[in-house]
């Protein structure tokens, strides 16, 4: 897991180091082509809008981060989730103390439904995985900026790295996702959240690391009615 955290840090630094083009309002037709196809693929493979039922197990670690990046107290919880048509039907705690955690958000924002400026990275070598940098126009209200990695041929997402520049109550807030395809639907199999929450006396820095396993797709609502 530590290697994944280092990767997220490197991605964040890279995103900050690459400045977006200013004054260029015309989208690159090639990048827009990929973005439009990724939007279609995201809709077609979205389990929540497809009317299916599914379940999974999530193991989450919450780590407090002290000065200098030292890891302090660590809590963990294992929970099983069951969804139908995008609604949470049930969640059961298998191990750990769920009361030590705020409500876990394992969903990812519908970035493909939003309008973003798009650019590629200089080290793109034309492989199967295609990374796009995304950033929004601050005059229209800031959405999360970051990077999305899609399949160059089938357009579904591999990974998503998001930085929230204006999240209320936070000095810093990032969320990152890695995805897997199960029975034709895309699910996150890893979710990371890194934040520094502003407090009354001092800020609180933390990391949430969630691994998702045992993803199972059940029958659709339409099938259950037959």
Helix (H) or strand (E) run with residue 9 in it? helix 2-17
Q: Rounded to the nearest 5°, which phi and psi values hold at 164?
A: -100, 105
Greater model confidence, 139 or 170: 170
The predicted pLDDT at position 93 comes to 95
| 147 bridge partner residues | 133, 161
State the Cα–Cα distance between residues 180 and 182, nearest whole angstrom: 6
Q: Is the pLDDT of residue 179 over 50?
A: yes
Q: Is the pLDDT of residue 20 over 70?
A: no
Q: Is the pLDDT of residue 1 over 70?
A: no
Average model confidence (pLDDT) across the chain: 84
The predicted pLDDT at position 138 comes to 66
| 133 bridge partner residues | 119, 147
The predicted pLDDT at position 201 comes to 83
The predicted pLDDT at position 166 comes to 84
The predicted pLDDT at position 26 comes to 73
Over residues 201-207, the mean pLDDT reads 89
The predicted pLDDT at position 35 comes to 96
Please, which residues have CB within 8 angstroms of residue 24's CB and are 6 or more apart in sequence?
A: none
With pLDDT > 70 as the criterion, what percentage of the chain qualifies? 83
Number of domains in the chain: 1
Cα first-last separation, the chain: 44
Range of the structural domain that residue 77 is part of = 2-224
At residue 67 the predicted structure's pLDDT band, cuts being 50, 70 and 90, is: confident
């Amino acid at each position: 897991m530590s290697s994944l955290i280092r990767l997220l840090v490197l991605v964040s630094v890279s995103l900050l180091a690459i400045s977006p083009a200013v004054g260029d309002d015309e989208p690159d037709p090639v990048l827009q082509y990929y973005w439009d196809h990724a939007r279609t693929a995201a809709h077609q493979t979205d389990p929540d809008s497809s009317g299916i039922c599914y379940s999974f197990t999530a193991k989450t670690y919450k780590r407090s981060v002290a000065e200098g990046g030292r890891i302090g107290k660590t809590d963990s919880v294992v929970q099983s989730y069951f969804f139908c048509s995008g609604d949470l039907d049930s969640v059961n705690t298998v191990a750990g103390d769920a009361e030590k955690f705020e409500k876990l958000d394992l969903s990812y924002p519908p970035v493909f439904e939003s309008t973003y400026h798009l650019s590629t990275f200089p080290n793109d070598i034309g492989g199967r995985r295609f990374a796009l940098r995304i950033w929004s126009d601050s005059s229209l209200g800031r959405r999360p900026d970051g990077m999305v990695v899609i399949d160059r041929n089938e357009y579904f997402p591999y990974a998503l790295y998001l930085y929230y520049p204006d999240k209320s109550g936070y000095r810093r807030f990032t969320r990152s996702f890695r995805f897997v395809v199960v029975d034709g639907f895309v699910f996150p199999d890893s979710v990371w959240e890194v934040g520094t929450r502003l407090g009354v006396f001092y800020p609180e820095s933390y990391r949430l690391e969630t691994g998702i396993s045992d993803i199972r797709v059940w029958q659709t609502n339409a099938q259950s009615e037959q």
